[in-house]
Amino acid sequence: ASGISPESPQKYVEEISQLPKEKGWRGLQGLFLYKNFWFYPAFLKGALHARDHFQAQPTDIFLCSSMKTGTAWLKALSFTIATRGHRPSDDGLPSNGGSEIPLFASHLPYTCLPKSVIDSDCKIVYIRRDPKDTFVSMWFFLRKFVAGKNSTDVESFASIDEGFELFCKGLSSHGPYWEHILGYWEASIRRPEKILFLKYEDLLEDTQLWVKKLAEFFGCPFSAGEEREGVVKECSFESLRDLEVNKSGKHEKRGRVIENSAYFRKGVVGDWRNHLSDEMGKKIDVIMEEKLMGPGFTF
The contact set with ligand A3P (CB under 6 A) reads 65, 67-73, 133, 137, 140, 204, 235-237, 240, 263-267, 271
Calpha distance 178→63 (Å, rounded): 18
CA atoms within 13 Å, Cβ hemisphere of 263:
23
Task: Determine the length of the chain.
Answer: 299
Q: Tell me whether residue 66 or residue 83 sits nearer to ligand A3P (CB atom).
A: 66
- Give least dist CB 67 to ligand A3P, A: 6
Give Dmax over CA atoms of the chain in angstroms: 57
Q: Tell me whether residue 83 or residue 260 sits nearer to ligand A3P (CB atom).
A: 260
- Give least dist CB 163 to ligand A3P, A: 14
- Give least dist CB 270 to ligand A3P, A: 10
- Give least dist CB 207 to ligand A3P, A: 8
Q: Give catalytic residues, as residue numbers.
A: 107
How far lies 108's CA from each of 82, 114, 175, in Å?
A: 23, 9, 10
DSSP three-state, residue 61 = strand
DSSP three-state, residue 145 = helix
Q: Tell me whether residue 12 or residue 110 sits nearer to ligand A3P (CB atom).
A: 110
Q: Tell me whether residue 60 or residue 133 sits nearer to ligand A3P (CB atom).
A: 133
Q: Which residues are CB-contacts of 174 (< 8 A; sequence separation ≥ 6)?
A: 37, 38, 39, 43, 66, 67, 107, 108, 109, 180
Kindly give the residue spans of alpha helices, DSSP state H, lying in 106-176. 115-119, 131-147, 160-168
Q: Is the peptide bond before 176 cis (omega within 30 degrees of 0)?
A: yes
Calpha distance 243→261 (Å, rounded): 10
Phi, psi of 105, rounded to the nearest 5 degrees: -130, 145
- Give least dist CB 70 to ligand A3P, A: 5
Q: Tell me whether residue 90 or residue 238 sits nearer to ligand A3P (CB atom).
A: 238
Q: Chain-centre distance of CA 145, in angstroms?
A: 16
